[in-house]
Amino acid sequence: MTATLLDGKALAKQIRSELADEVVAFRQDGGPQPVLAAVLVGNDPASEVYVRYKRRDCEQVGIESQLHRLPETASEDELLALIASLNEDPHVHGILVQLPVPAQIRTECILEAVRPDKDVDAFHPENVGRLLQGRPRFLPCTPHAVQQLLLRHDIPIAGAQVVIVGRSDIVGKPLAGMLMQRDAAANATVTVCHSRTRDLAAITRRADIVVVAIGQPKFLTADMVQPGATVIDVGINRTEDGLVGDVDTEAVAEVAGRITPVPGGVGPLTRTMLLFNTLAAAKALTKEQAHE
């Protein structure tokens, strides 16, 4: 392997340490303990693990973590009622509804129900619109993780050719919106590719930075990468050989200049950005309450 590994796990630990100091300072200035309320509907194993990790992360930085459970059979109205109560709770600063939700519940309806100023996942339409206008309240966690990986490893973004493979609402679309902004952490030329893109390899080979979030194991191969490029693998897929990303890491690492591992790359940072948003929400809501 010739590419330099971008260690997201180590970076996440560093940022959590910074956040812990910020929480202490916030509370010393008279602020409350930030509170993140997670809502889990049903017993999806992956969601259970993810929520457990998030609660542990909260504890490490001094954020209180609440877990609100509803059964697999819960109705949409029951979930909406819970969200409404959390929206009105002055002690709750961030609300996270763990996805996916059961089939009888409309995801779009739930995402719109969370108050925008408590929407620490940044999925509410208002927050998506603010992001595209270049005045975000919160940055969505996975795209923010990608941006932090680039910034904190001094990888130039301004003027770079960035190709994003995948156009999901969670990663591809918001990341494109972030990296094209007039901002010191952006100013990239962004191309978004997807299942209908013609001659995808010809496009990815022109990229200085390739971000892959398509949900297909080892999709990006060595012949699709420009020598020396930075490759960010957002995917995580369970296979017979264990967890693998959307990039054929071993082969691509012989061509790329920098690459993220799976696991240990974007994932740990994604959870850390949730803590970042929760603290930001606590600061904003506390300031608002002080002026009421």
Catalytically active residues are 54, 98, 121
Residue owning tokens 């910074």: 18
Please list, in sequence order, all residues whose beta carbon lies within 8 angstroms of the beta carbon of residue 129, skipping any fewer than 6 positions away. none
User: Residue 291 CB: number of other CB atoms within 10 A?
Assistant: 5
Q: Which residues pair with 244 in a beta bridge?
A: 237
Q: Are 175 and 203 spatial neighbours (Cβ–Cβ below 8 Å)?
A: no
CA separation for the pair 109, 261 (Å, rounded): 35
Range 156-185 burial, b when 16+ CB lie within 10 A, else e:
ebeebbbbbbbbbebbbbbbbbbbbbeeeb
